Amino acid sequence: MKVAIYCRLSEEDRNKQFETDDSNSIQNQKSMLLQYSLEQGWELYNIYSDDDYAGADRRRPEFNQLLKDAEQHKFDIILCKTQSRFTRELELVEKYIHGLFPLWGIRFISIVDNADTANKGNKKSRQINGLVNEWYLEDMSENIRSVLTNRRVNGFHIGAFALYGYKKDPDQKGHLIIDEEAAAVVREVFNLFAQGYGKTAIARMLNDQGIPNPTEYKRLHGLRYQQPKTKNSTLWKYSAISDMLKNEIYIGNMVQGKYGSVSYKTKQNRPRPKSEWYVVEGTHEAIVDRELWDRVQALISQKAKPFDVGTIGLFARKVQCANCGYTMRSSKNRGKHYLKCANRHVAKDACVGSFISVDKLEQLVIDELNRLAAKYLDKEELERNIKFSDDLQEQKSQLLSHIAAYEKKASEYSKGIQELYMDKVKGILSESDYLKMSKEFTTDRNRLERMIADGQNQLSAIEEKMTAGDNRHKLAQQYTNLEYLTHEAVEILIDYISVGKRIPGTRDVPIEIHWNF
């Protein structure tokens, strides 16, 4: 019999001299399991070891390799110290230990808690182990959340990375101290903005001076940093300057909790509303004094005032530089609005730069739309062919009836899956029959749920029509013979627009419109 040994350590490993070394705990697990295998006379196939991974983390590399090898039946037995070393999730216990492993001909054994799939008598104890481990995960998550919340409320820094301009205090956990080299750059940014320089101009000045951006600075100084996902990651950009100028941490306030986890079972985070952030004043030394901060915030507020109605944001996030692919930003000069590629200004040779006025781009888009309408649309024919029901209420009633029937049937399938599981637990239903029947039930239920969702979408569309009434003529006229664009029309009609550099010797700017139709 070939055995695969699986080991895992979840708590922070403090016993390693080097990152590549196994921890003492992992070595102890291996020794115990190897000794047990020798005593049973089993042949060792491989040792799979995940260090510094939680039991609810499904992205464990060795764990996933173990499952792939098990499916290909490269060994006969999986051996762990405890069932929780394999997983703490009840769902995975049922899926693999009680479901797929028997189908693949794999025996699962954990020594300490006596779990053994070859022993039918301890199946309930394995299920109880899974349930207890699941509770442990949830309780642990709540406990950790409570501790972290308490530290946030009390103004302790709990992040993995210190904000640019600061570093973690080696003598006091959760406290930030000033990193003078980076702090000098932060002060320069605030002073330049207070003197009237724009964010892009500040980014260009820092790049011209050869000052590395926050990520590159941390990399060069051997500090922890988050791996950037964008190209030209060593350059300062508009967004980095903008974020810096609004961050209260620079005036000595600790701001945390901007993101929160979706569930204790996943590492995914989502933004939290500002009202739920944790803000504690005066937790560390300020880099920027309050007078300068207030002056900068007042300037930001002034610059944030909206432009004239009908022009601001008309092509927001819709226009890209044909040369570098970056989204072009808006600017205003002598009352006129322009779109330009910021990359041209942040560093030399970063981009040749694309530039176009909003008025010119709007007219080019209108001309192309009207050309397409004249060529392909017969307005009278279009108006006749827009279908409206004579009895929308009847359609709505039929749809509601169908949705109710689908929901009832989906509920029956859910109940059937529960009953199948109870029959399996009682021994009325075999493992293979349970898996086959529950898969069929689940497939049918998922199909019905998709039909319910489609029905609800159709219902929303009908209700909108009932509210709007018969507006065929309005719809037919909406996007033909246009004189001006609205942001709504741009959003509906245009995927994105690519703008190139002006053709030398002319006033022509090449553009490429990618429509949504």
**Tens of pLDDT, residue by residue, the chain (517 residues):** 999 999 988 654 444 444 445 555 778 888 889 988 988 999 999 999 988 777 667 888 999 999 999 999 999 999 998 888 888 777 888 888 888 998 999 999 988 877 888 887 666 665 666 566 565 556 555 665 666 777 778 888 887 788 999 998 889 888 999 999 999 999 999 998 888 788 888 888 888 888 999 988 888 887 766 665 555 567 888 888 999 999 999 999 998 887 766 555 555 667 778 788 888 888 999 999 999 999 898 888 766 544 433 334 678 778 888 877 777 888 778 778 888 887 766 665 667 778 898 889 988 988 888 887 776 666 555 445 444 444 566 677 777 887 888 788 888 888 888 888 888 777 887 888 878 888 888 887 887 788 788 778 778 877 776 665 544 445 445 556 666 777 667 777 788 899 988 888 888 889 998 887 6
Whether residues 405 and 271 fall in one domain? no
How many distinct helices (H) and strands (E) make up the chain?
18, 17
Strand partners, 256: 278
Residue 157 is assigned to a structural domain of this protein:
no
Regarding whether 98 and 246 lie in a shared domain, the answer is no
- Beta strand 319-321 with 166-168 is unpaired
Name the domain count of the chain. 4
Same-domain status, 36 and 113: yes
Backbone angles phi, psi at 233, to 5 degrees: -70, -10
Of 251, 277, 303, which one is at a domain's C-terminal end?
303
| Residue 444 near residue 451, CB atoms below 8 Å | no
Return the pLDDT at 72.
93
Residue 309 lies in a domain: no
Same domain, 290 and 349: no
- Please indicate, yes or no, whether residues 460 and 335 belong to a single structural domain of this protein: no
pLDDT confidence of residue 269? 64
**Rounded Cα–Cα distance for residues 294 and 300 (Å):** 10
202 plus 274 within the same structural domain: yes
* R_g of the chain computed on alpha carbons: 31
Is residue 417, in this structure, part of any structural domain at all?
yes
pLDDT at 165: 92
Does residue 186 share a domain with residue 270?
yes
Q: What is the pLDDT of residue 20?
A: 47
- According to DSSP, the residues that pair with 512 across neighbouring strands are 498
Per the structure, the complete domain to which residue 437 belongs is given by 389-469
Q: Which residues contact 295 (CB under 8 A, 6 or more apart)?
A: 194
Let me know whether 493 and 370 are in one domain: yes
**Is the residue at 285 inside a domain?**
yes
pLDDT for 24: 56
Are the C-beta atoms of residues 97 and 79 closer than 8 Å to each other? no
CA-to-CA distance for 309 and 306, rounded, in angstroms? 8
Q: Of 303, 335, 359, which residue is a domain's last?
A: 303
210 within a domain of the structure (yes/no): yes
Q: Cβ distance 92 to 80 under 8 Å?
A: no
Identify the pLDDT of residue 199.
85
Among the three residues 151, 178, 208, which one is the final residue of a domain in this structure?
Answer: 151
Nearest 5°: phi and psi at 2? -95, 135
d(CA 326, CA 342): 8
167 CB neighbour count, 10 Å cutoff: 19
CB 7 within 8 A of CB 81: yes
pLDDT of residue 473: 46
Q: Are residues 437 and 499 in the same domain?
A: no
* Per-residue model confidence (pLDDT) at position 70: 94
Q: Return the closest-CA partner of residue 343 out of 496, 501, 200.
A: 200
Assign residue 469 a region (left: φ > 0; alpha: ψ between -120 and 50; beta: otherwise): left
pLDDT for position 388 = 46
Burial class (CB in 10 A: 0-12, 13-18, 19+), 340: buried
- Identify the DSSP state of 193: H
Nearest Cα to 53, choosing from 43, 64, 42, 40? Answer: 64
Q: Which structure tokens are listed for 48? A: 């799979």
pLDDT of residue 128: 64
Task: Check residue 391 and give its pLDDT.
Answer: 54
What's the rounded Cα separation, in Å, for the pair 298 and 497?
Answer: 34
Task: With H, G, I as helix, E, B as strand and everything else as coil, classify residue 31.
Answer: helix
Token couple for 481: 């013979």
| DSSP per residue, 181-220 | HHHHHHHHHHHHHHTT--HHHHHHHHHHTTPPPHHHHHHH
- In which element (H, E) is residue 86 found? helix 83-86
Q: Is residue 443 part of a domain?
A: yes
If asked whether residues 393 and 460 sit together in one domain, one would say yes
Do the domain assignments include residue 161? no
Q: Are residues 266 and 371 in the same domain?
A: no
Judge if 375 and 418 occupy the same domain: no
Q: Are 189 and 202 in contact (CB under 8 A)?
A: yes
Which pLDDT value is given to residue 481? 64
Give domain status of residue 311, yes or no.
no
CATH classification at residue 11: 3.40.50.1390
Write down the pLDDT at residue 182: 92
Whose tokens are 């969702």? That residue is: 453
Write out the two tokens for 223. 């500090």
Looking up residue 230, the CATH number of its domain turns out to be 3.90.1750
